[in-house]
């Protein structure tokens, strides 16, 4: 896959605390780039597991043709301290993971405000996030909405299996400003996600953030917030990074013309159900108060 552009908010040991600043493992990325596409893993994911998931996703992108392969130089991999691994009872540690998600969002916001594109031009910021990584994203965007990055523009966000309560991004929600900051947003969801169906409501209730709330990634709600929604029927919580339909959706949002024959071939080879487009709309421009 070539050189990995990696950023870390972790100590170089599993389970370490959030660093005081972002560590660039392969500098000078992402400074000086016109566009940065940052991948953000969820919790209950060790650094090694996150790296393997990123590899699978990037590998699928690379098979989409030269347009998609040109994106690879823009892709960065973020590692944040969300690696609780308790198997089927991982939701018990969920309340303890929310604070690291918020801390990570603050550290990342501070860092992104330092980015400058080529010749002092703005950097186009794009994010592809999974599970509780979407909480990191929305907390980050909420901070950028309040104090924008001077040389950054949030263009695209893709939320996969978002482990975020719907109420937080609905009208009056605490993260609505962040949820509506990006020019384009795609919510990928699955009704077959057992983690979001059973464990998420328990974890959120234990965290005191609601009473058995519904996750954004369960049905792609609320429909009026995201500019696009797509159901990845059949996907369980851990399937998104390896689902080629997700790679196709991301590539298209980033301007890649994906050949239909490639998409059809993948569906047959991986025996995945055909994606169902639930809604897609163009929304009026929004002003976010800063």
CA neighbor of 62 nearest in space, from 46, 52, 75, 43: 75
Is 219 part of a structural domain of the chain? yes
Tokens of 17: 């605390």
Q: What is the CA radius of gyration of the chain?
A: 18
**What pLDDT, on the 0 to 100 scale, is given for residue 278?**
37
Give the global pTM: 0.88
Distance between CA atoms of residues 105 and 60, nearest Å: 28
Residue 289 lies in a domain: no
Torsion angle of C-alpha atoms 1, 10, 26, 107, degrees rounded to 10: 120
pLDDT on residue 223: 87
Is the residue at 290 inside a domain? no
Residue 151 three-state SS? coil
Decide if 286 is inside a domain: no
Domain count within the chain: 1
Q: How far is CA 7 from the centre of its chain?
A: 15
Report pLDDT for 59: 97
Flag whether 236 is in a domain. Answer: yes
- In three-state secondary structure terms, 124 is strand
Asked if residue 288 belongs to a domain, the reply is no
Residue 35, in any domain of the structure: yes
Query: Residue 78 domain-assigned?
Result: yes
> In this structure, what CATH number is given to the domain that contains residue 86?
3.40.50.1820
- Give me the pLDDT at residue 259, please: 76
Mean pLDDT, the chain cut into blocks of 10 residues (290 residues total): 82 59 90 96 89 97 95 96 61 76 95 94 97 97 96 96 97 98 98 94 90 97 95 97 97 90 50 39 37
| CB-based contact 188:249 (threshold 8 Å) | yes
Which range marks the domain in which residue 40 is found? Answer: 6-280
């Amino acid at each position: 896959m070539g050189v990995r552009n990696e950023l870390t908010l972790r100590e170089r040991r599993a389970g370490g605390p959030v660093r005081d600043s972002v560590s660039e493992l392969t500098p000078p990325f992402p400074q000086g780039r016109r566009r940065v596409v940052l991948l953000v893993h969820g919790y209950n994911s060790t650094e090694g597991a996150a790296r393997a998931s990123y590899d699978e996703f990037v590998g699928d992108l690379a098979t989409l043709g030269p347009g998609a392969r040109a994106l690879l130089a823009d892709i960065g991999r973020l590692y944040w301290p969300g690696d609780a691994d308790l198997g089927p009872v991982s939701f018990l540690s969920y309340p303890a993971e929310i604070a690291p998600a918020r801390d990570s969002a603050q550290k990342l916001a501070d860092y992104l405000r330092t980015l400058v594109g080529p010749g002092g031009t703005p950097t186009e910021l794009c994010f592809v996030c999974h599970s509780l990584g979407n909480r990191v994203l929305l907390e980050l965007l909420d901070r950028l909405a309040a104090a924008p990055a001077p040389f950054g523009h949030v263009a695209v966000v893709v939320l996969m299996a978002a482990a975020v309560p719907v109420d937080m991004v609905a009208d009056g929600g605490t993260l609505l400003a962040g949820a509506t900051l990006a020019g384009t947003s795609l919510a990928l969801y699955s009704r077959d996600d057992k983690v979001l169906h059973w464990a998420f409501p328990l974890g959120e209730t234990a965290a005191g953030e609601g009473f058995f709330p519904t996750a954004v990634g369960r049905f792609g709600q609320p429909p009026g917030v995201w500019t696009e929604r797509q159901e990845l029927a059949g996907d369980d919580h851990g399937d998104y990074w390896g689902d080629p339909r997700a790679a196709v959706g991301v590539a298209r949002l980033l301007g890649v013309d994906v050949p239909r024959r490639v998409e059809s071939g993948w569906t047959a080879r991986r025996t995945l159900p055909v994606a169902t487009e639930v809604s897609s709309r163009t929304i009026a421009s929004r002003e976010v108060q800063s």
